[in-house]
Amino acid sequence: MDTAYLIETIIKVVVILLVFSALAGIGTYFERKILAFMQRRLGPMNVGPYGLLQVGADGIKLFTKEDIIPQGVVKNIFKIAPVITAATAFMAAAAIPFLPSFTLFGYEVHPIVADINVGILYILGVMAVGLYGPLLGGMASANKFSLLSAARGAAVFISYEVVTGLSLLAPIMMVGSLSLIDFNEYQAGGIGDWIVWSQPVAFILFWIAAFAETGRTPFHLIANDHEIIDGFGTEYSGMRWGLFFIGEYANMFFISFVIPLLFLGGYGDGSFLGALGLLGKMAFFFFFFLWTRAAWPDVRPDQLMWLCWKVLMPIAVINVVITGFVMMF
């Protein structure tokens, strides 16, 4: 392992950490602005032009607020839970190729931290570990609402995980690899080669499961304000609560990168236009998360489990079987 590789990796890790923790903050601003636009309000307007500095104000507030550890909680677990959510979100990013490789000052840069050949499995597995944050936070707080939220977290996790895996199986069979870079190469020929045209069912299923994975609105059960206050976050304050938020928004950004890479051609042939295209697709999927939040009501936990186990899972299995038959004959 030479020194250049080590330095390059460390720089990449730092850049990804900085960019996405900043983006997670700005993501909250986007969310408030877009929700305000859809509900005919103004949203944040007072801090800076168009409320742009609201992110900084929120950050200062979260950092300087007192970090309260209530009595009766399991201290160690309570303290470590938010860190799990944030850390695993960024760990999952290690296997995502954010841009095509480019040359900087005569040095070729691959914007992926670790190109392991089981990238998809790794990303899904580590993102799944992220749900331990809400679960542990909910179980460690001595609060009935938090406990309810933890129970819902476990139910959500067990439901969507099956759908994600099975829906991805069909495209993986077609590409014959688990690496996101191989997925991108497979679709590099242009719009006609995109996997979404041959696997529309898998695309829709994965998209639905992505909402459950990030805990966004139709499946926003684990912190449903109108039923269980803030769920796992009820007892938290200050930066620990903020870490939950950074994890959630970073996860949204990462899954918005993964969906286009898997189904919509990724960065294409690796040109500048392709890179812009990937960022554009990512922006659309992120916007779609916010759009659904403005437009859709939440489902009940039993409805989510019914949907995942009795509707989506059989469809995913049938999709895998049909893909297998088509590939064989």
Residues interacting with other proteins, by CB under 8 A? 1, 72-74, 76-77, 80, 116-118, 121-122, 124-126, 128-129, 131-132, 135-136, 139-140, 142, 147, 150-151, 154-155, 157-158, 161, 165, 177-178
Determine contact, residues 117/178, Cβ cutoff 8 Å: yes
In 3D, which of 323, 299, 92 has the Cα closest to residue 203? 323
Q: Report the residue number, 282 or 316, with the smaller CB distance to other proteins.
A: 316
The smaller minimum CB distance to other proteins, of residues 30 and 254, is found at 254
Considering the complex, what minimum distance in angstroms separates the CB of residue 169 from other proteins?
A: 12
Name which of 23 and 142 has its Cβ closer to other proteins: 142
**Strand residues in the chain grouped as ranges (E):** 102-104, 107-109
H-run or E-run covering 105: none
In terms of CB distance, is 118 or 273 closer to other proteins? 118
Outline where 141-266 has alpha helix (H).
144-175, 180-186, 195-198, 200-214, 225-228, 238-263
Residue 297 DSSP symbol: P
Question: Nearer Cβ to other proteins, position 72 or 200?
Answer: 72
Name the minimum Å distance from CB 199 to other proteins.
19
CA distances from 290 to 47, 59, 117, 216 (A): 22, 21, 32, 9
Give the shortest CB-118-to-other proteins separation in angstroms. Answer: 5
Nearer to other proteins, 43 or 70 (CB): 70
Q: Determine how many CB atoms are found less than 10 A away from the CB of residue 159.
A: 21
Whole-angstrom distance, CA of residue 118 vs CA of residue 162? 18
| Nearer to other proteins (CB atom), residue 134 or residue 265 | 134
Q: How far apart are CA 177 and CA 120, in angstroms?
A: 9
In the complex, minimum distance from the CB of residue 77 to other proteins, in angstroms, rounded to a whole number: 5
Q: To the nearest whole angstrom, how small is the minimum distance from the Cβ of residue 250 to other proteins?
A: 18
Q: From residue 273, how far is each of 45, 99, 215 by CA, in Å?
A: 34, 11, 32
Q: CA-CA distances (angstroms) from residue 84 to 59, 71, 112, 192, 212? A: 20, 22, 22, 40, 18
**Least distance CB 81 / other proteins (angstroms):** 9
